[in-house]
Amino acid sequence: MKNLILFFILLVLTINISMGQTKKSCCDETTAPNTMAAFGNDPIFVAQHPAPVPFTLADAMGKMITFNTSDGKTANAYEVKSDNPSDKWILVFHEWYGLNDYIKKESDELSANLPDVNILALDLYDGKVATNNDEAVKYVQSVDNTRAFNIIHGASDYAGSKAIFGTVGWCFGGGWSLQAAIELGAQCKACVMYYGVPEDNMDRLAKLKAPVLGNFGLQDTHITPDMVSKFEQNLKTLGIPSDIKEYDAVHGFANPSNPKHDPDATKDAKERTLNFFKDKLK
């Protein structure tokens, strides 16, 4: 009898282990966030991110809010409401310094140009904001993918079942803009990436329903032209519309606190982004 009981215990354990090995979540499928975290160990990549010049946003158009997430916690975001009630939303994803006043300024600018769209800049660092690269690397590498996806889904729930979305982000946030667009499925109508890590898992990328607009730098030593070209080809293979442009610029070219900030490339990329959202979020 004891042997029979032991047999059944071992059988149950074997089944559970097998299920654990074969069942995959979105966090298992995605490769991009892990790639960005690994870049934090590379001094060359870190050196491409000079500490942001202190900046305080005056006359902010929005305010900080919290919303519930499925893990029993709350998440933070900077929200700029549309002029009139609207089911259109853009989720904004911060660079690796966190949800600082630069990102809030970008959110205000989006709202000023898209007054019929709600802007929600998500805080994937849960309240932490880096002021130097040591802190930024620590925060990037401490992001738990499951928690980040919970924040994205919590934002979707906050916006409501009738919401349609666009996503945009830079660097760390560029990769998460793509991940959010994948997670949001058919509700997402437009995804904008600024020099973020592309998703190279084809099974996961195939779940993307939104067209992609990409702004990348030819001088980027990590989000390289070869990586961008592969991403563009993958999207084409999957039949996902894309508009990818590479500027003769460095990684982080659109960051005004970057000594190698490229105003001309930034202006063009912003115009492309606004026109893309205006077209897709009709």
* pTM metric for this prediction: 0.90
Beta-sheet pairing, 118-122 with 164-170: unpaired
Q: Identify the pLDDT of residue 58.
A: 94
**pLDDT, tens digit (0-9, with 9 covering 90-100), for 31-43:** 678 888 899 899 9
Contact 224, 203 (CB under 8 A): no
**pLDDT, tens digit (0-9, with 9 covering 90-100), for 247-268:** 999 999 999 888 889 999 999 9
Contact 48, 127 (CB under 8 A): no
Which CATH fold would you assign to the domain 28-280? Answer: Rossmann fold (3.40.50)
**pLDDT, tens digit (0-9, with 9 covering 90-100), for 113-135:** 999 999 999 999 999 999 999 99
Q: Identify the pLDDT of residue 34.
A: 82
**pLDDT, tens digit (0-9, with 9 covering 90-100), for 18-28:** 334 434 456 66
Q: Identify the pLDDT of residue 56.
A: 92
Q: Identify the pLDDT of residue 7.
A: 43
Contact 94, 173 (CB under 8 A): yes
Q: How confident is the model at residue 16 (pLDDT cuts 50, 70, 90)?
A: very low
Report domain extents, the chain: 28-280
Pick the range with the lowest mean pLDDT from 28-37, 139-148, 200-209.
28-37
Taking all residues of the chain, what is their mean pLDDT, rounded to a whole number? 91
Percentage of the chain lying above the pLDDT 70 cut = 90
